[in-house]
């Protein structure tokens, strides 16, 4: 496994070893020992699986309290995955990082607790899987406005308009959000 840096020090891009042959491929999507060796020592309590058509945008979500760390991967299709630093004491507070995850590159994104998370499906039938370090708690969920000009997230919409849930369309501007200490 190879650990790659992103624009935010604590968010890591992971390239697992992928074994491909005429039958298909094999990779380890989680190995506690291997991840701990590269500094990701997480205990996961919940796995989520989302399937989306092209231009579905889910997020940007975070929980306060009960911050969730997430290990995100795409099993089928392509997605642009985004993490926004919501930790007020962080030097990267209010900054974002976005990467393309796909069934072709098999990369994973480690998003530690204290970040808002969202993704844009870039193909029909995109399956996003993510492991969480805390249980989903709807009473603690917050939604950050996906297109807040203060964040300036460069979503690869190619002139399209994203499909949003009512909750995501009503997200709060970054300046008005609650943040982690």
Tell me which residues are annotated as active site: 61, 130
To the nearest 10°, the Cα dihedral for 168, 64, 151, 174? Answer: 80
Q: Which has the closest alpha carbon to 8: 77, 75, 78, 99?
A: 99
The answer to whether 52 and 132 are in contact (CB under 8 A) is: no
Largest CA distance in the chain: 52
The DSSP code sequence of 78-100 is EEEEEEEE-BTTSTTTT-EEEEE
Q: How far apart are CA 92 and CA 154, in angstroms?
A: 17
Helix (H) or strand (E) holding 37: helix 32-37
Which residue, 73, 70, 81, 57, is CA-closest to 105?
73
Q: Can you read off the two tokens belonging to residue 26? A: 């094999």
């Amino acid at each position: 496994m190879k650990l790659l840096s992103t624009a935010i020090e604590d968010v890591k891009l992971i390239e697992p070893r992928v074994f491909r042959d005429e039958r298909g491929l094999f990779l380890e999507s989680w190995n506690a020992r291997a991840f701990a060796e590269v500094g990701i020592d997480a205990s996961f309590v919940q796995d989520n699986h989302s399937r989306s058509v092209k231009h579905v945008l889910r997020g940007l979500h975070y929980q306060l309290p009960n911050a969730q760390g997430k290990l995100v991967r795409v099993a089928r299709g392509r997605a642009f995955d985004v993490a926004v630093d919501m930790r007020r004491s962080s030097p990267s507070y209010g900054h974002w990082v976005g990467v393309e995850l796909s069934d072709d590159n098999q990369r994973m994104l480690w998003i530690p607790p204290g970040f808002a998370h969202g993704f844009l499906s870039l193909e029909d039938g995109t399956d996003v899987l993510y492991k969480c370090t805390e249980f989903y708690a709807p009473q603690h969920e917050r939604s950050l406005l996906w297109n807040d000009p203060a964040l300036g997230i460069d979503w690869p919409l190619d002139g399209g308009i994203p499909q949003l849930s009512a909750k995501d369309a009503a997200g709060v501007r970054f300046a008005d959000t609650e943040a982690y200490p």
